[in-house]
């Protein structure tokens, strides 16, 4: 980790990392990168999980949607890291945009060298968790009876060691954020207990608590096309954007970055490779997209 601190990436680095899979890291990374690009920032998004490549696949789907539907969607520069080494990561970021305002890293869901590298490079570390006590154990132990926090987990110790290293080098402190993700409104009693436990852990292990994205049809249906709810006003003949769902995305970005996320103007877009699409294929794609956005209602 010390070596990573000696060779920083450009801009503000936001790493989405959790040693537990299935918590929505790629979804949050995608929504964050798109929202920052839409605000006019220069954004580079790197998928560090070459086996799953969920983040990179979502951007490929976004480019396809933009071409078929014929809209100019804000697009971060993006790539998947095929060689898991620090030098390759720096080269990829420099190749995509050496003057990026933000670099978004989507780490694999397991402890490995590139996972630790992403944590070491981050200015803002986002750890999504599902609202369950099992997921809380990724951060640290908590007594189920007294509610008192206990020792940090392996991941928590990694973050603590990094913070100590940054202090020793007199670098800016790491902003660690635990984002409560995929929350269901019907689980209010469970959420209250999780909130109390998170509050206790936050004070003990020095992190902030943020709201991620709730479990909504709106997010699942649009994600497969590489879209966010913020894109709906640009799509012709599609459902209107739900203010409630749009507000969730805006609240997420505000929690992560505050006023800094407000950009200077038009974003840089990745060049899309032109493709030939038959009229029938284009119509079928638009019909599928319309069906998905039609499922997005204000209560979704």
Give pLDDT < 70 ranges for the chain: 1-7, 184-188, 215-219, 237-242, 259-282, 285-286, 289-300
- The whole-number pLDDT of residue 282 equals 62
- The whole-number pLDDT of residue 275 equals 43
- The whole-number pLDDT of residue 5 equals 59
Distances (CA, A) of 243 to 36, 64, 227, 249, 250: 19, 26, 16, 10, 10
CATH architecture under which domain 2-294 falls:
3-Layer(aba) Sandwich (3.40)
What are the boundaries of each domain within the chain? 2-294
What pLDDT, in 10s, does the model give residues 137-159?
A: 888 888 777 778 888 888 899 89
- The whole-number pLDDT of residue 195 equals 85
- The whole-number pLDDT of residue 177 equals 93
- The whole-number pLDDT of residue 129 equals 87
115-134 b/e (C-beta count within 10 Å ≥ 16 → b): bbbbbbbbbbbbbbbbbeee
For the chain, how far is it from start to end, CA to CA, in angstroms? Answer: 42
Q: Are residues 142 and 148 in contact, defined by beta-carbon separation less than 8 angstroms?
A: yes
What pLDDT, in 10s, does the model give residues 157-178?
A: 989 998 888 888 887 889 999 9
d(CA 184, CA 199): 19
Q: What is the pTM of this model?
A: 0.84
């Amino acid at each position: 980790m010390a070596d990573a601190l000696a060779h920083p990436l450009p801009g503000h680095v936001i790493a989405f990392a959790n040693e537990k899979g299935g918590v929505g890291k790629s979804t949050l990374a995608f929504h964050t990168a798109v929202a920052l690009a839409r605000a006019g920032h220069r954004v580079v998004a790197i998928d560090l999980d070459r086996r799953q490549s969920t983040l990179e696949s979502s951007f490929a789907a976004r480019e396809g949607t933009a071409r078929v539907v014929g809209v100019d969607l804000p697009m971060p520069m993006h790539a998947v890291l095929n060689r898991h080494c620090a030098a390759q990561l720096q080269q990829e970021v420099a190749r995509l945009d050496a003057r990026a305002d933000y670099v978004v890293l989507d780490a694999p869901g397991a402890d490995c060298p590139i996972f630790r590298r992403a944590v070491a490079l981050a200015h803002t570390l986002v750890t999504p968790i599902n609202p369950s006590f099992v997921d809380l154990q990724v951060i640290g132990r908590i007594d189920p009876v007294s509610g008192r926090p206990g020792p940090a987990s392996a991941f928590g110790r990694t973050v603590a060691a990094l913070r100590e290293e940054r202090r020793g080098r007199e670098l800016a402190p790491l902003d660690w954020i635990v984002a409560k993700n995929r929350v269901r409104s019907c689980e209010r009693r469970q959420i209250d207990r999780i909130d109390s436990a998170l509050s206790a852990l936050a004070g003990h292990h020095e992190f902030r608590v943020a709201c991620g994205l709730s479990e909504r049809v709106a997010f699942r249906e649009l994600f497969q096309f590489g879209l966010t709810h913020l894109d709906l006003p640009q799509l012709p003949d599609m459902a209107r954007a739900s203010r409630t769902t749009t507000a969730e995305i805006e609240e997420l970005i505000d929690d992560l970055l505050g006023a800094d996320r407000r950009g200077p103007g038009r974003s840089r877009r990745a060049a899309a490779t032109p493709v030939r699409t038959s009229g029938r294929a284009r119509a079928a794609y638009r019909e599928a997209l319309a069906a998905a956005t039609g499922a997005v209602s204000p209560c979704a």
